[in-house]
């Protein structure tokens, strides 16, 4: 396959970026999108040009590192459920097609270089949530902390969030409420998360606002692009947790 790429190139966070035309030649249809970028970088290096900077790690759809906006859509293909950029294959594109590749666009995710953005704001939000006062050491007996099947399933569903930031990149408001909602929902449903439940909701929302993320306006773009299929219901759960915690804190 021979493709035409329009790639966002930006030297550093202080420089002005722009889309650059780059040819991607002799790309195997079975290659993943990141493997295609590897091939293109090899071609650029051989010509003495600067390779494209992009994030990647496990390339198994688990780490959430491959943050790319492809043809205007985070991770590139909302028609395929649970797809990260590393799981998007070039057979989904047509020979000769032009592909636009940009970093996630959000005020809280400043561009570091080319396609790399700083998503450390997510780390600070999680750190604001703190630890749980659960017993450490050997695993407890499976029946020692009975949890209903419904709560266990909902907690596992929320815990599937990989923190990739696609929800922020897709939201017109640059909101992180799907991410924060998933983190708060996960522990609020489990016995281990109860002692710090109210403090966690208040602290994580406060940190989210401090980082400059927008609020939710129910566009549901976050849910549409989430590779872990996190439902927007976690946002409603976050709102309830925050309201309850605020009321208790006021009392």
**Long-range contact list for 15-23, CB < 8 A, 24+ apart?**
17/111, 17/114, 19/100, 19/102, 22/52
**Whole-number pLDDT of residue 182:** 98
Q: List the chain pLDDT tens, one digit each, 251 residues.
A: 999 999 999 999 999 999 999 999 999 999 999 999 999 999 999 999 999 999 999 999 999 999 999 999 999 976 666 789 999 999 999 999 999 999 999 999 999 999 999 999 999 999 999 988 877 778 778 788 889 999 999 999 999 999 999 999 999 999 999 999 999 999 999 998 999 999 999 999 999 999 999 999 999 999 999 999 999 999 999 999 999 999 999 98
Residues 5, 24 contacting (CB under 8 angstroms): yes
| Topology given in CATH for the domain delimited by 3-112 | Ubiquitin-like (UB roll) (3.10.20)
**Whole-number pLDDT of residue 140:** 76
**Whole-number pLDDT of residue 137:** 79
**Whole-number pLDDT of residue 80:** 64
Ranges for all domains in the chain classified under CATH 1.10.1060.10: 119-250
Ranges for all domains in the chain classified under CATH 3.10.20.30: 3-112
Q: What pTM did the predictor assign?
A: 0.93
Residues 100, 9 contacting (CB under 8 angstroms): no
**Whole-number pLDDT of residue 251:** 85
**Whole-number pLDDT of residue 207:** 98
Secondary-structure class of domain 119-250 per CATH: mainly alpha
DSSP H helices in the chain = 33-46, 120-129, 149-159, 166-170, 177-188, 197-211, 221-225, 233-250
């Amino acid at each position: 396959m021979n493709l035409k790429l329009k790639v966002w190139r930006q030297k550093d966070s202080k420089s002005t970026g722009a889309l650059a035309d780059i040819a991607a030649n002799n790309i195997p249809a079975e290659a993943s999108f990141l493997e295609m970028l590897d091939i293109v970088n090899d071609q650029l290096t051989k010509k003495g040009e600067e390779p494209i900077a992009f994030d990647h790690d496990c390339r198994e759809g688990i780490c959430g590192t491959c943050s790319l906006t492809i043809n205007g859509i985070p991770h590139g293909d909302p028609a395929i459920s649970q797809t990260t950029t590393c799981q998007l294959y070039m057979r989904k594109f047509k020979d000769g097609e032009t592909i636009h590749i940009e970093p996630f666009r959000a005020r809280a995710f400043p561009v570091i270089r080319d396609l790399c953005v700083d998503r450390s704001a997510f780390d600070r939000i999680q750190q604001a949530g703190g630890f749980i006062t659960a017993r450490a050491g050997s695993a407890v007996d499976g029946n020692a902390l009975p949890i209903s099947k419904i709560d266990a399933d909902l907690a596992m569903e929320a815990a599937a969030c990989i923190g990739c930031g696609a929800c922020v990149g897709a939201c017109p408001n640059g909101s992180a409420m799907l991410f924060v909602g998933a983190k708060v929902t996960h522990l609020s449903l489990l016995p281990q998360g109860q002692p710090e439940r109210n403090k966690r909701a208040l602290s994580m929302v406060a940190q989210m606002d401090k980082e400059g993320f927008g609020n939710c306006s129910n566009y549901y773009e976050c849910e549409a692009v989430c590779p872990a299929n996190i439902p927007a219901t976690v946002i409603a759960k976050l709102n309830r947790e925050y309201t309850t915690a605020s009321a208790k804190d006021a009392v």
